[in-house]
Amino acid sequence: MLNILLVGKDPVSLAVFAGELSKNDAIMVSRAGSGKEAWDILDRCKVDVVVVDKELADEDALSFVQKLIKRKPLINYAMVSTLSPKDFHEVTEGLGIFMQLPADPGPEDAVKMIQMLKSIDTLMGI
């Protein structure tokens, strides 16, 4: 079972994306509206992937990701951003974020993310 945590202030912005992920019986999707909520889930549950939306209820998304990666470095991270791919790379370089998602990601983005995760698993020999 792949456990994916979606973190974002506005559940509507990730609703279609989450719906596509939830169609797969091998994926469990959890949600958190704030960094605090996310930490509570991460401390209680095994999470494989964290998708961080562009806004959190209680803190800046990028600073949350920076803290999260230091504390939980073995989780895969994706982030919603409206930056150009080049600017996103510059801002997040060294953080190990495996995928940039567009604002209000759709079902095709969910499919692409799962494909990328499968590629990562294959490369890692998992």
Residue 48 has what pLDDT?
96
Q: What pTM value is reported for the model? A: 0.94
Number of compact structural domains in the chain: 1
* CA 10 distance to own-chain centroid: 14
Confidence of residue 120 (pLDDT cuts 50, 70, 90): confident
Query: Which residues are bridge partners to 6 per DSSP?
Result: 31, 51
CATH number where 29 lies: 3.40.50.2300
- Dump pLDDT digits (tens) for 2-46: 999 999 999 999 999 999 999 999 999 999 999 999 999 999 999
Q: Which domain holds residue 27?
A: 2-124
Residue 125 has what pLDDT?
59
**The pLDDT of residue 122 is above 90:** no
- The CA distances from residue 53 to 26, 60, 83, 124, in Å, are 23, 10, 13, 26
- Dump pLDDT digits (tens) for 98-112: 999 999 999 999 999
Confidence of residue 121 (pLDDT cuts 50, 70, 90): confident
Tokens 């992937």 correspond to: 49
